[in-house]
Structure 1
Amino acid sequence: MSAVTEAGPAGVGPAGAGAAVGAGWNRPGGLALRRRVVDRVATGLSIAATAVVLLALGSILLTLLVRGLPGLSLATLVRTMAPPGSNGGLANAIVGSLVQTGFAAAIGTPVGLLTGIYLSEYARDGRVVDVVRFVSDMMLSAPSILVGLFVYMLLVMPFGHFSGLSGGIALAVLFVPVVVRTTEDMLRLVPLTMR
């Protein structure tokens, strides 16, 4: 065999080909060294990306605190809205959110609990049970904007104005599948001897 076609010391290419370029990668411990280098580079890039994201979030939070804290007081939380252009309060928004959430919980909790209990304890596997589970899973993964548009077309457009009732119903539609799935899963964890 000639020197040109003879394998080099690492068994790759002609004799001496890997000696100058990348010779460290071809040595017996070279693969481990290469993996360590790649790991360190990837770790460094991950840390740098995390730092950039945290810096952006920190900047947003700092701006929010610097500009928002001077306007935040107890009066802001308990006063009602003032006419546009003047300083107003958040009482209407806070009370409205609490009322809508309470309304959604009052509708969604009993429906979700009863459905979850039925699916877990009483239902036998069958077509109806499969359909109920499928619809519940689909509603669970439905985007909230679609539920909002559905309730908007169903309740807001026919009556011609917004209402807290419409918001509460939209929230209840989002609430029910979460309660159904949680109830069913938790009841299935209970051993049969304790049911």
Structure 2
Amino acid sequence: MAVSTNPRKSPRPPLDSAALERLALHYVERYATTRAKLRAYLERKLRERGWDGEGSPPHEALVARFAERGYVNDRLFAESRAEALARRGYGARRVDSALRIAGIEDADAAVARAEAHERGWDAALTYARRKKIGPFALEPSEENRRQKQLAAMLRAGHPFEFAKLLVAALPGECPADPN
């Protein structure tokens, strides 16, 4: 039985199959999610409230059924997340990291990763423009500042070659795509 952390509230009753499905439906209605995130959410709710149904909790079957019905689509989630990160100027390594953190399997993330690699230069330009690096700076940067900009571009997931070209560029002189 779950214990309430708020002394004024009565403890929530343990979950059964119907309550578990309602929680899952509510979660996928509110959030764009993955199978891994839905599974983690249901496991957390089961730990918090306990299980009062027959046998073991059917959370794995519930996740699989939601994926079959299209309520949860890891491939679409991966493509959307990769597109959003690219629009903000993040590179392929950062996209890959975000997809791994979201629990997306390699097969579902393959297309999104390939697109992130293809758009790498455009994403690097977007990031440099956003952060006023190199060709988008108002004035040439000093060495210390360029080192910080290079580190920022690398943390944003861009290849070293792209970051080096953009950081070394003078304001107004955009280098050509190295690919």
TM-score (norm 1): 0.20
Larger radius of gyration: 1
Structure with more of its chain in helix, by fraction = 1
